[in-house]
Amino acid sequence: MHDPAFFQDIMDSELKKIQLHDTPTELYDPIRYMLALGGKRLRPSLVLMGTELFGGHYMEAISPALGIEVFHNFTLMHDDIMDKAPLRRSQPTVHTKWNQEIAILSGDTMFVKSCELMMQVKDDVLRNVMSLFYKTAVEVCEGQQLDMNYETKTQATLEEYIHMITLKTAVLVGCSLKTGAIIAGADEHDRDHLYEFGKNIGVAFQLHDDILDVYGDEQKFGKQTGGDIIANKKTFLLLKALEVAGTEELKELKRWLAMKEFDKRKKVEAVKDIFSSLHVRSAAEKKMDEHFQLAIQSLNRVNVSEERKMALRIFSEKLMVREC
């Protein structure tokens, strides 16, 4: 079994080979720009790892792996519009560099291209691959809508938050692995166990992201910390704080949440102090570990040798030890 770094290099190379029309340039240049921004290529690498896990050759899964990555970048392009985000991976977002109308249409074209790439599999697995992909695509959209709903919703439960990140983030991780398993001819039970492994790793990954956004080292994390606090984003940490806060702590937390103008550094430090007093970081880490353990249990049920599963074990452990 190859490791994710091996497949990341392959995907970076293969993405450059995707055939796009030359004109109209306003439609296709933003797609090329978006795909060239980089990234970990996590999801397409998992497609290839899922194929190898069951004895298939990763080259059989290159096109659907590309399809997963193009779809993922399409969702990022549209998310940036909805979030009014100026930057993506330290570069101007597509709607900032061009305009919103171009970003919408280029994103739509990316989705069509992702479907075209996903369909380039053997006929005997085509229906299962596409059914899973379409189901996942709808779930990702549902998750994004729920996330937007939470921006104006006065209250949200921790269970609702876990459901939202499962749809918005985790199901595509599960889909990636299961797609690879389908291509390799794995039986239904093994496919499902691998999907549950990926889904729970996806939830744990997002919870870890929530923690790193508040407590991470900016140099190691790769982006400014405290962004979720500044934006009043309803992460697990904030929702847990609202759930367990006493009268005075709740009053102070809501005061910061209600502020329209504030010093960003002071807000981040004040909210972090409240989080620390309520021990919400340890609660988030506990929930993260719960999903990590669920993932490992599902991986243990996959009926292949431990030697073949080792690359996925190492991969999942590395995701959980990104430095703070």
Look up the pTM and report it: 0.94
pLDDT band at 323 (very low <50, low <70, confident <90, very high): low
Does 168 share its domain with 287?
A: yes
Domain range enclosing 31: 1-125
For helices 62-83 and 42-53, angle between their N-to-C axes, nearest 10 degrees: 150
Does 173 share its domain with 294?
A: yes
Structural domain includes residue 36: yes
pLDDT per residue over 41-84, tens digit each? 999 999 999 999 999 999 999 999 999 999 999 999 999 999 88
Does 61 share its domain with 98?
A: yes
Does 110 share its domain with 79?
A: yes
pLDDT of 324 strictly over 60: no
**Range list of β-strands (E), the chain:** 87-88, 91-92
Mean pLDDT across the stretch 7-14? Answer: 94
Tell me how far apart the alpha carbons of residues 18 and 100 are, in angstroms, rounded to a whole number: 24
Give the pLDDT of residue 227.
87
Tell me how far apart the alpha carbons of residues 79 and 216 are, in angstroms, rounded to a whole number: 23
Q: What is the mean pLDDT of the chain?
A: 94
Structural domain includes residue 199: yes
Query: What is the number of domains present in the chain?
Result: 2
Contact 106, 77 (CB under 8 A): yes
Domain boundary (91, 125, 159) is at: 125
Give the pLDDT of residue 197.
98
Does 189 share its domain with 119?
A: no
Give the pLDDT of residue 224.
60
pLDDT per residue over 177-194, tens digit each? 999 999 999 999 999 999
Query: Per residue in 152-164, is it b (16+ CB within 10 Å) or e — as a string?
Result: eeeebeeeebbeb
